[in-house]
Structure 1
Amino acid sequence: MQSPKQPLAHPARHILRLNEVMRRTGFRRAHIYNLMKLDKFPHARRIGLRAVGWDSQEIEQWIAARLDRS
């Protein structure tokens, strides 16, 4: 007997890479970096020598704030 499929649980807070941030926001790379430059989008954090990532909670809060304004 098969058990019902459970959705994969994501940790409460994790690092999002650029592709995931683009997927969640619908924005392209250049627009995300322009918004960061204007302090209108959460800033990326260095996670390695040549890698950056975004705090998932900051991105989710940013999205929620935009939806609440509508």
Structure 2
Amino acid sequence: MTTDANSSDRMIKLPEVISMTGLSRSSIYLLIKKGNFPPQIKLSTRSSGWLSKEINSWLESRPRGSQN
């Protein structure tokens, strides 16, 4: 169902965001609070995720060699 054209629009969960960014859970939520990271999207009462294209855009906007 997912094609290469829209695979960047898929929802990803926190473990994958951590893997993609190299950031810890607490660092991600701190950056969200500061407005420096894409906020999660509420999927249900107990679930949230991120659009992979938003995480990829955030990664591309980061200066090379930056950790935070």
Query: Which residue number in structure 2 is paired with residue 54 of structure 1?
Result: 50
Q: Which of 8, 13, 18 pairs up with 2:14?
A: 18
RMSD: 1.7
* Aligned positions of 1:1-70 closer than 5 A: 11-66=7-62, 69-70=63-64
Q: Deviations over 1:8-51 (max 9, x none)?
A: x5723100100000000000100000000000000001011100
Q: Return the index of the structure with the highest Cα Rg.
A: 1
Normalised by the length of structure 2, the TM-score is 0.81
1-structure distance, mates of 2:8, 2:31: 25
Q: Secondary structure at the match of 1:12?
A: helix
Instruction: Structure 2 unaligned segments of length 5 or more: list them.
Output: none
What is the count of residue pairs matched by the alignment? 61
